[in-house]
Structure 1
């Protein structure tokens, strides 16, 4: 841990963020951070509640003279995306994040940083702890498992929270206020295959596509980055035709909401075609490097001879697997008609891997238009059903429809303009914020989302801009002073 972090302003936020980096908190493994936050609230003498799914709620009374203000819920999620570089030794279940100052940014050594959403959680903790702030009644809502299914938001029950205004602190561009987000849907794909003995007279190779940037499948889907799985299957589609390649195993991607950075396959080809096969890999690497010269400068596609596997996928099913995943929609499907520059609908082909006699895949579909999301799901079902796969859709969550008459939006626009001399941009986001689900449980809430500038979330390049954390904090403090009366 770089001690320079403790010197950053606002120190009250950075000290809590530092504490969070020392607690392993990947999605689905949040017990330690839940216990930490519960102890934090109780040590402050504040009412602290854990609901039945693990969300933590901490209540702080209004400061004197502010009792007549509407109640505010400060909301962030406790979990983080566990992604690391291939050469980094790190156990997200046990090891702390190695955060450090890098010029104008704070980043991590070879792993995700967890600023998404650690900075938002740290800011809420700073408000709860502070004795010198002016605010009405405050509740902090710390949800669990946002990154892999929004389990906390799904499990939140009505009646637990008393506030009127939800301030979500999970956005990633300072100077912007978010008033809407996309909904999402998980696609789960499964091919039943047969395994056959490896043909005689073959040479085995391990194919590896590495060095891609990856990123957040909502925030970064429009940046034109490479998808390692799509690139792998593009090659396999042609290699099957030209060299009769047979697949023994596939392992591409990791998390449903992260653009896949790496993909691997073990394949065999006839020994008399081995030299031509190796040449083809190099040719495709050149093609990929040319096509992604600006967006993926570190892209690598290699083949390495390896020991022969014991089995390969039967040839008929292999052809269907390759064609289905090669043809699967990926990336931006449609841009928004109503909000310039906003992605309306997208798909992230996030994970493909072999598991015994099955080939499994996972995608995350997003859209701010429910009918478009449904149409994309139907298109994907049509593709994979034709190929003989089973596909089912789970974990659907709604989008968050903008409210042009939002009182908190007006307050925050005015506060920002007075404090920083400009009006913040009003935006919707293609990522899936928890606001859509939370607003379904508490339909009376007036909701808004904002945050500091974070780049490359969900990837080992994640970083948060130091100066914007100060502005984010100052904006939050001033907003709490100006919350409307009941």
Structure 2
């Protein structure tokens, strides 16, 4: 990790290195929050925590810039906890093992947390600097962005004074985001019946691994395999008699699932046939997906015989409903070329005592299309007798044509780099849409360095995009106009 602190700009990378050393998965932000508050206090800055746990840090304007419009730098403090199956890591207690890998910074077998740790580090580096010129400045650090946007939902009016918000949670240098998709969580509980396992049978654990996974919004168009969908497809292709004792896959609805597994109950004499069938299915999947997913691996292991298995009627309902559930890109945008309009990710499957739990995340730029997609999923599962609920709905962020900060950022970027940035809409949930409830007057943009494969253990940030991102942020702060 010492390598990180030698990268440029050093203040940003030194802070990011510290962030990596403090466990901060979603729902467990207490340690990082305490450190941020102490960081601000040590700088002599005013820091407050609101009732949901968001932090607001205020820094006075530098001399001569007191009459500039107030700016809010915004980042979230939590990270997505994902790791490779063979990696021993406790996200609540262990630091992220970040390291330099050629042109990138990545982590050893886990998510890196550059989403949104680099943006957080940039915001804190601005607070720390005595040389950066800026008007009245506030830093808003929200909680739980990745697992429910709790902080954004809970932000109340009256805490912040600024007029312009710079969100640092985008993932492509040279792109400026002025809008984002809304989303909703789809929660399915499919009731199941159990029967006693025949003691003469064998139990086989079948696992499907090697997929790339990724962010269920920004990576959904890449055609990557969904481990939950592939596992159930595999089950539907088996031509031997079997029963399911348990099935599970994925861990977060906002991450494309990379791994899934099922415990099958079969006759001892069918082991060889099962192995042959699975090898054939593995080859089939690779024949279809190898250009994108070259490492798909189906493997089997003998396990202890469980006491119960799904009744056949429940097993059929589980396989058919998950197999029939829509997944991936539903429609591309008609108005923004190359952008996904609507998508859904079947992110989690879990076996519970009396039901199978399935969790999906639907995203769309259009609220009515989001509603239609969530209803499609509900229709599929209710046919199988499941109960379906919708939670955590958040609105999209509609682009503002007359945005002053968009024009400032575009002109600043062109002056610095000799080209215009792309003005974009992102197929992912940014907190900006939710901020409009409490602060409808805010003029907002989102930008950041280049981050690849967020929400997966392959997450990495391109080193040579971090300094331009930070320099652009600093230059924009100096170009903020006076108050009206």
Corresponding residue for 1:438?
A: 435
Structure 2 equivalent of residue 460 of structure 1:
457
For residues 98 and 304 of structure 1, the distance between their equivalents in structure 2, rounded to whole angstroms, comes to 31
Q: Which runs of 5+ in 2 are unaligned?
A: none
| 2:177 aligned with 1:178 | yes
**What is the 5 A alignment of 1:238-257?**
238-239=237-238, 242-257=239-254
Q: Corresponding residue for 2:120?
A: 121
Alpha-carbon distance in structure 2 between the residues aligned to 1:202 and 1:343: 47
3-state SS of paired residue (2:256): coil
Instruction: Say if 1:243 and 1:270, in contact at 8 Å, map to a contact too.
Output: no
What does 1:96-245 align with in structure 2 at a 5 Å threshold?
96-199=95-198, 201-239=200-238, 242-245=239-242
Query: Counterparts of 1:357 and 1:275 in 2: how far apart (Å)?
Result: 32
Separation in 2 of the partners of 1:236 and 1:177? 44
Q: For 1:233 and 1:191, how far apart are their aligned partners in 2?
A: 15
Distance 1:221 1:202 in 2: 40
Give the conservation status (yes or no) of the 8 Å contact 1:252–1:263: yes
> Does structure 2 retain, via aligned residues, the 8 Å contact 1:236–1:245?
no
Residue 302 (structure 2) aligns with: 305
- What is the DSSP-based 3-state SS (H/G/I as helix, E as strand, rest coil) of the residue aligned with 2:236? helix
Equivalence for 1:451: 448
CA-to-aligned-CA distance 1:315-371 (integer Å, 9 cap, x gap): 101101110001111100010000000000000000001011211110000001000
Aligned equivalent of 2:356: 359
Deviation at 1:304, TM superposition (A): 2.1
Aligned to 1:350: 347
Alignment partners' CA distance in 2, 1:5 and 1:270: 55
Structure 1 residue 440 displacement after superposition: 2.2
Mapping of 1:26-37 within 5 angstroms?
A: 26-37=25-36
**Deviation of residue 271 (structure 1)?**
3.2
Corresponding residue number in structure 2 for 1:422: 419
CA distance in 1, matches of 2:376, 2:333: 19
- The superposition leaves residues 90-125 of structure 1 with CA deviations (integer Å, 9 ceiling, x where unpaired) of 110111111111111111111111100000000000
Aligned: 1:331 with 2:328? yes
Worse-superposed segment, 115-124 or 302-311: 302-311
Give structure 1 regions of 4+ aligned residues with deviation exceeding 6 angstroms: none
Residue in structure 2 matched with residue 262 of structure 1 by the alignment = 259
Q: 1:154, 1:407 → 2: CA distance?
A: 25
Q: Secondary structure at the match of 2:223?
A: coil
Q: Which residue of 2 aligns with 1:39?
A: 38
TM-score, length of structure 1 as denominator length? 0.98
Shift of 1:201: 4.2
Q: Structure 1 CA distance, aligned partners of 2:445 and 2:52? A: 24
What does 1:256-405 align with in structure 2 at a 5 Å threshold? 256-405=253-402
Aligned to 1:48: 47
- Deviations, residues 158-207 of structure 1 (Å, cap 9, x unaligned): 11110001100000000000000000100111112111011364322101
Partners of 1:336 and 1:469 in 2: how far apart?
30
Separation (CA, whole Å) in 2 of partners of 1:193 and 1:107: 42
CA apart distance, 1:297: 1.4
Distance in 2, matches of 1:92 and 1:251, equals: 21
DSSP 3-state at the match of 2:419: coil
Give the Cα separation in 2 of the matches to 1:449 and 1:440.
18
Deviation string, structure 1 residues 425-477 (Cα, Å, up to 9, x no partner): 01000010111111222110001000000001001111001110000011001
Aligned equivalents of 1:250, 1:185: Cα separation in 2: 24
Alpha-carbon shift at residue 244 of structure 1 (Å): 2.6
State the 1:269 CA deviation: 2.0
Per-residue deviation, 1:288: 0.9
Between the aligned partners of 1:99 and 1:276, the Cα distance in structure 2 is 44
- Aligned-pair CA distance for 1:238: 2.5
Shift of 1:303: 2.1
- For residues 110 and 270 of structure 1, what CA distance do their matches in structure 2 show? 37
Q: What is the match of residue 83 of structure 1?
A: 82
> Would you say how many aligned residue pairs link Structure 1 and Structure 2?
483
Deviates more, 1:190-199 or 1:473-482: 190-199
Q: In 2, are the aligned partners of 1:285 and 1:302 still within 8 Å (CA)? A: no
Query: For the residues of structure 2 that align with 1:193 and 1:392, how far apart are their CA atoms?
Result: 18
Which whole-Å CA distance do the structure 2 matches of 1:414 and 1:176 have between them? Answer: 13
Provide the C-alpha distance between the structure 2 equivalents of 1:279 and 1:149, rounded to a whole number of angstroms. 43
1:113 is paired with a residue whose SS is coil
Structure 1: tracts of 5 or more residues without a match: none
Q: Does residue 1:6 correspond to 2:2, yes or no?
A: no
